[in-house]
C-alpha cells in the first residue's frame, strides 16, 4: 500500500500509485509517514466513505463478491448491512469477517478506516 501525505503533514490517505495524488497539496510515499499530529482510527465512517476507500485501493468488487457469497442468516444479515447501513462501525463483526476474507491485517483495516474518514 502507498500513501498520499498532505504537505502540511496533518493527513494521509491510501493510494495505489503516485498518479492518484494531488501534487499541489500532497506528497507520494511508499512508507506510512510519521505525522506531526497523530491520526485516530474513526469509530465509524459513512458507507459512501467506506466504499470509496475500498474502491481507491481496488478491493470494492472483491468485498461485494465476498458479501454476496455469504450464506444463511449471517449472509442475509451481512447483505442487509451492506445495502442499507448508513455508517460502517470499525467494531462490527462484519468488518472483522470481511477483513479476514480479504486477508487484511487489523492495521490495514485501521488504515482503510483512516483513509475513508479523510474522504469528504
| pLDDT tens digits along 73-118 | 999 999 999 999 999 999 999 999 999 999 999 989 988 998 898 8
Within this chain, do residues 50 and 96 fall inside the same structural domain, yes or no? yes
With H, G, I as helix, E, B as strand and everything else as coil, classify residue 7: coil
> How far apart are the C-alpha atoms of 36 and 39, rounded to whole Å?
9
Within this chain, do residues 20 and 54 fall inside the same structural domain, yes or no? no
> 10 is in which domain, residue-wise?
1-31
Within this chain, do residues 23 and 55 fall inside the same structural domain, yes or no? no
Within this chain, do residues 27 and 48 fall inside the same structural domain, yes or no? no
**% residues pLDDT > 90 (the chain):** 52
Within this chain, do residues 12 and 53 fall inside the same structural domain, yes or no? no
Determine contact, residues 9/35, Cβ cutoff 8 Å.
Answer: yes
Determine contact, residues 45/117, Cβ cutoff 8 Å.
Answer: yes
> How far apart are the C-alpha atoms of 36 and 8, rounded to whole Å?
9
Q: What pTM did the predictor assign?
A: 0.68
Q: What total number of domains does the chain contain?
A: 2
Amino acid at each position: 500500500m502507498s500513501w498520499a501525505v498532505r504537505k502540511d503533514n496533518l493527513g494521509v490517505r491510501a493510494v495505489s500509485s503516485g498518479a492518484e495524488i494531488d501534487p499541489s497539496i500532497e506528497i507520494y510515499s511508499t512508507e506510512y509517514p510519521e505525522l506531526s499530529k497523530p491520526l485516530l482510527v474513526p469509530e465509524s465512517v459513512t458507507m459512501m466513505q467506506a466504499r470509496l476507500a475500498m474502491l481507491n485501493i481496488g478491493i470494492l468488487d472483491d468485498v461485494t463478491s465476498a458479501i454476496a457469497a455469504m450464506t444463511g442468516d449471517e449472509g442475509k444479515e451481512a447483505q442487509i448491512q451492506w445495502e442499507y447501513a448508513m455508517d460502517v462501525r470499525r467494531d462490527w463483526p462484519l468488518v472483522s469477517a470481511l477483513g479476514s476474507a480479504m486477508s487484511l491485517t487489523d492495521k490495514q483495516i485501521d488504515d482503510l478506516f483512516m483513509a475513508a474518514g479523510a474522504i469528504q
